[in-house]
Amino acid sequence: QVQLVESGGGLVQAGGSLRLSCAASGRTFSHYAMGWFRQAPGKEREFVAASSWSGNTIFYSNSVKDRFTISRDNAKNTVYLQMNSLKPEDTAVYYCTAGRVVGKGSEVYDYWGQGTQVTVSS
């Protein structure tokens, strides 16, 4: 079992930055691919970014590529999502997730955090 706790969400103006953190506990963190998804009101959950356990394979959605950066510190059991040049359409609840393989589909991930709210004002 893996427990995931997100933090770092909040309210920011358009063009600003936030860094989300996801602290993992339980089974060996470094064995898991980690990802971030988000869900805006009235919309389906969508993929944002993901990293393999080694960090050598990284995926981004087209909507955040070149603005967001996923990274992980296996020694601290933590994965980060640095979000720059934020836009109002980035407003959503952001979820951290862990799974055995890295991918863009939610079905490959086994564990999910509770989510952290990110609100970007125009």
pLDDT of residue 29: 73
Token pair for 50: 């993901």
Mean pLDDT, to the nearest integer, of 74-82? 94
User: Which residues touch 67 (CB under 8 Å, ≥6 apart)?
Assistant: 83, 84, 85, 86
DSSP-assigned beta bridge partners for residue 96: 36
pLDDT tens digits for 90-110?
999 999 999 999 999 999 999
